[in-house]
Amino acid sequence: MSTRQFFVGGNWKLNPTSVGKAKELVEVLNKAELDPNTEVVISPPSLYLIPVRDAVSNKQITISAQNAYYKENGAFTGEISSSQIKEAGIPYVILGHSERRTIFHETNEVVALKTRAALDAGLKVILCIGETLVQREGGETTKVCEGQLSAVVKQTKPEDWSNIVIAYEPVWAIGTGKVATTAQAQETHVDVRAYLSTAVSTTVASETRVIYGGSVNSGNAKDLAGQQDIDGFLVGGASLKPEFVDIINARK
Ligand SMILES: O=C(CO)COP(=O)(O)O
């Protein structure tokens, strides 16, 4: 097994519907017995970042924003910046989630600029990549993931990668109940490492955590977590349920 620490993130997306419910989710985690070897990160909507930060009592759990703009300040109505997130004591930001790419039209280049800005502000980045069903069926998975990564490679130096976790999230598996098979996920993770090895360095390829996202639940997490190149998960729907604890403990 590698020295890469197992990482489980809960991407709450635009959930739950009140700060009280957000605190209830935190309470479940505060009381749970979590595998001390897993890094646990929860990502509430921006408005709940600070109350959730304050509600977390288990030091093993840290917080992530779900997005950040690449400008530090200015006339950008509706945006928040990485430096504001950092100042609020939030260590992580998710960037390039497929919902941002698809619904909000974020290009590879915009995601790369956001990554650069987040790293410059001192945040750690959960960088999401992944192909659509049409792209997978067209045999383009590797090409698509490499394109998404190469835009970020252009904006970064090898040393930046210790602050990046790559989340491979095939779009066809997100929120659909169709999880990638362990073989499909493992194969793409190997391809991601092969790409990093040539585009950045062999050290970055072997040390960067590559986690999987897309319909992960307590029933499939153990099998996926047993794969050599799957270093954890980014969980959507199941991170809002008590089974999130079982996913955190998938390697226990
Ligand atoms: O998008 C995801 C995590 O970022 C995955 O969502 P689901 O776990 O709901 O499929």
Residue 68: predicted pLDDT: 98
Residue 125: predicted pLDDT: 99
Q: How many CB atoms lie within 10 A of CB 26?
A: 22
Which is nearest to 97 in space by CA: 157, 55, 45? 45
Which is nearest to 251 in space by CA: 34, 28, 26, 44? 34
**Is ligand 1 within 6 A of the CB of residue 11?**
yes
Residue 208: predicted pLDDT: 98
Residue 65: predicted pLDDT: 99
- Catalytic position from the list 99, 106, 146, 169: 169
Residue 203: predicted pLDDT: 98
Give the span between the Cα atoms of 122 and 131, in whole angstroms. Answer: 29
Residue 98: predicted pLDDT: 98
Structure tokens that stand for 29 in this block: 């985690």
> What is the DSSP code (8-state) at residue 35?
-
Ligand 1 centroid to Cα of residue 82, in Å, is 23
Q: What is the domain partition of the chain in residue ranges?
A: 7-248
pTM (2 d.p.)? 0.98
Give the span between the Cα atoms of 91 and 124, in whole angstroms. Answer: 6
Give the span between the Cα atoms of 246 and 238, in whole angstroms. Answer: 10
**Is ligand 1 within 6 A of the CB of residue 102?**
no
Please list the ranges in the chain whose pLDDT falls under 50. Answer: 1
Bridge partners of 238, per DSSP, are: none
248, 40 Cβ separation under 8 angstroms: yes
Catalytic (active site) residue 97: yes
Which ligand 1 atom lies nearest to the CA of residue 237? 9
**Is ligand 1 within 6 A of the CB of residue 175?**
yes
To test the pocket of ligand 1, the residue of 215, 218, 244, 246 to mutate (highest count of ligand atoms within 8 Å of its CB) is: 215
Residue 223: predicted pLDDT: 97
Ligand 1: residue whose CA is nearest its atom 6: 236
Residue 83: predicted pLDDT: 98
> Over the stretch 133-168, which tens digit does the pLDDT of each residue have?
999 999 999 999 999 999 999 999 999 999 999 999
Q: Flag whether the ipTM exceeds 0.95.
A: yes
Catalytic (active site) residue 169: yes
- CATH architecture assigned to 7-248: Alpha-Beta Barrel (3.20)
> Over the stretch 189-218, which tens digit does the pLDDT of each residue have?
999 999 999 999 999 999 999 999 999 999
**Is ligand 1 within 6 A of the CB of residue 96?**
no
**Is ligand 1 within 6 A of the CB of residue 196?**
no
To test the pocket of ligand 1, the residue of 101, 174, 243 to mutate (highest count of ligand atoms within 8 Å of its CB) is: 174
